[in-house]
Every structure is written in structure tokens, then in C-alpha cells.
């Protein structure tokens, strides 16, 4: 839940001062009870599981986000200037990001990968822009707009990181090479085709920047090729089953995480 975990103390403070006190808004109290029950039930349920993974807590993130947003908005609503602690935290975060951008700009490569220029530029530009926006909000008394500044800055950095740096650092777990291979054998403007593995649709569509034609079963493959399809991404273990239904030739072999994938095309007879 980082970096929003840093706002959890604000949730506790707001709950004690504004929510669970005599005379508090009953609608807000009910909403908070619901959100807290949502979080508590998720944590308790998955804590009882023998196998534990961090992603099991994803279902409670929306409730945590609502609590953090309401607490921060409520604490800032009646203030002319933001709390000193919030200003210090924001300044420290901005300095950290700015320092990281400056440091990355001097590195030729990290883990064998050159730091993407857009990410480096954003690590420098976002803290500076955020600091200017913070000063403007404080001087004009618009402290309620400060959460928007925080959210915009954090999401910009996260989007740049996961869009450029993360796939490069872990290329074998990225769909980017798979999408590039599929595009090499897919006609221009045609959708990329995928057999099974529906969880791969989003990544394939993102990196190919095209719609994905998803085939659920192997018996759909002959019809796809008969309709003019020219390339198909699928797991390698399905290759023999597909070959029993339609003649195909393997164009490329790849890996995506633990999955061995192939890009196949119809084995068409050569024209005389």
C-alpha cells in the first residue's frame, strides 16, 4: 500500500478526533465502520491461511484508500495552513525523489539496464513541480487541494516506473517481448491473437497497442486461420494439440515468467 501507508497515522488521528466521538456525523461513522470491517475481515481471513502472500491483501486496499482520503481531507478542510508534520514529510519525499533523479542521471546502467530518460526526467521534474504547487496552495489558503498534489505526483512516478523501468529490469516476466514478437508476424492494423491464458490479454494489448483477439479453446484455431488470421500467441504445451487441428509453423519461441510461449502461423503451401 506504499506510499499511502504513511497516511495511516492520519487515519487514526482523524478517527479519534472526528469520527468516533459524541456528536460526530452518523453517516460518516457508519461509513467508517463499514470500511474498517472490510479491512479487518480481509486481514483476519487471510491471516488464518496457511500460505500467505502480500497480494492477498489487495481486496482491502480500496477501503484503506477511502479511509486515508477522508481522513486527509477532513484534517485539511478547516486549516489555513497544512500541518507541520505533513509539510516535513512532503519535503522529505520531494528531496528523496529529486536526489534519486540526479543520482540516476549519472548512472550508465543499473542491473545491466540503462535508466530510461523519461523516468529520470520525471524524478527531477515532478518534485520541483510538486513543490511549486505546494507553495501555491499554501499561499492561497487552498490546503484542501494538497492531497491532489500528492496523488498526482505519486501516480506520475509510479506510472513512469512501471511503464519503463520495471519491464526492462525483469524482461522475462514482461509481456513486452511477447507483444513485439506477435507484431512481427501480425499484419498491420490487425488484432493480436491469443489462445487461452486470458490473464495475458491486458499485458499483450498494452504493449502491442492493439486489440487482442482471444481464443478460448483450441478448436477455434482453424476458424481463426480460415478467416485470415496470420499469427497466434499460445503456450508451447498446446502446440501438439493445435497441430492436430490445423497445420501451423512456429515463428518464435519466448518465455513470459515460468511460461514457455510460441508465436505460430498457418503453414500455408508455397505459391508456384
At residue 34, the pLDDT reads 92
Which region, left, alpha or beta, applies to residue 228 given φ > 0 means left and ψ of -120 to 50 means alpha? left
53 pLDDT exceeds 70?
Answer: no
Distance between CA 232 and CA 193 in Å, rounded?
5
Give the burial class of 32: count Cβ atoms within 10 A of its Cβ; 0-12 exposed, 13-18 middle, 19 or more buried.
buried
Q: Write the pLDDT tens digit of every residue in 189-237.
A: 888 888 887 778 887 888 888 888 888 888 898 888 888 888 888 888 8
Which grid coordinates belong to 189? 492494423
| Spans of all domains in the chain | 4-170, 176-266
Q: Write the pLDDT tens digit of every residue in 95-120.
A: 887 887 788 777 776 655 666 777 77
Average pLDDT over residues 69-81: 74
Q: Tell whether pTM > 0.85.
A: no
Q: Which CATH number does 176-266 carry?
A: 3.40.190.10
At residue 271, the pLDDT reads 46
Give the burial class of 134: count Cβ atoms within 10 A of its Cβ; 0-12 exposed, 13-18 middle, 19 or more buried.
buried
| Cis, bond preceding 3 (omega within 30 deg of 0) | yes
Q: Write the pLDDT tens digit of every residue in 137-174.
A: 777 777 667 777 777 777 777 777 776 665 555 555 66
Amino acid at each position: 500500500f506504499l506510499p499511502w501507508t504513511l497516511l495511516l497515522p492520519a487515519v487514526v488521528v482523524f478517527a479519534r478526533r472526528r469520527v468516533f466521538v459524541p456528536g460526530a456525523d452518523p453517516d460518516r461513522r457508519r461509513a467508517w465502520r463499514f470500511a474498517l470491517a472490510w479491512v479487518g475481515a480481509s486481514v483476519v481471513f487471510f491471516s488464518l491461511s496457511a500460505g500467505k502472500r502480500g497480494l492477498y491483501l489487495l481486496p482491502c486496499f480500496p477501503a484503506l484508500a477511502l479511509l486515508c482520503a477522508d481522513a486527509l481531507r477532513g484534517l485539511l478542510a478547516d486549516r489555513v495552513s497544512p500541518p507541520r508534520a505533513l509539510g516535513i514529510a512532503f519535503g522529505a519525499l520531494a528531496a528523496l525523489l529529486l536526489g534519486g533523479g540526479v543520482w540516476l542521471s549519472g548512472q550508465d546502467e543499473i542491473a545491466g539496464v540503462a535508466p530510461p530518460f523519461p523516468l529520470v526526467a520525471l524524478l527531477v521534474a515532478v518534485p520541483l513541480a510538486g513543490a511549486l504547487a505546494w507553495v501555491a496552495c499554501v499561499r492561497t489558503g487552498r490546503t484542501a487541494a494538497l492531497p491532489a498534489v500528492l496523488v498526482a505526483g505519486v501516480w506520475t512516478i509510479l506510472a513512469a516506473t512501471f511503464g519503463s523501468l520495471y519491464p526492462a529490469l525483469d524482461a522475462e516476466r514482461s509481456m513486452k517481448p511477447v507483444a513485439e514478437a506477435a507484431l512481427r508476424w501480425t499484419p498491420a492494423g490487425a488484432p493480436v491473437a491469443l489462445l487461452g491464458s486470458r490473464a495475458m490479454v491486458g499485458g499483450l494489448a498494452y504493449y502491442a497497442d492493439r486489440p487482442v483477439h482471444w481464443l478460448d479453446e483450441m478448436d477455434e484455431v482453424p476458424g481463426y486461420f480460415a478467416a485470415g488470421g496470420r499469427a497466434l500467441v499460445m503456450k508451447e504445451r498446446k502446440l501438439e494439440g493445435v497441430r492436430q487441428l490445423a497445420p501451423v509453423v512456429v515463428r518464435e519461441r519466448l518465455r513470459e515468467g515460468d511460461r514457455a510461449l510460441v508465436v505460430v502461423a498457418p503453414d500455408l503451401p508455397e505459391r508456384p
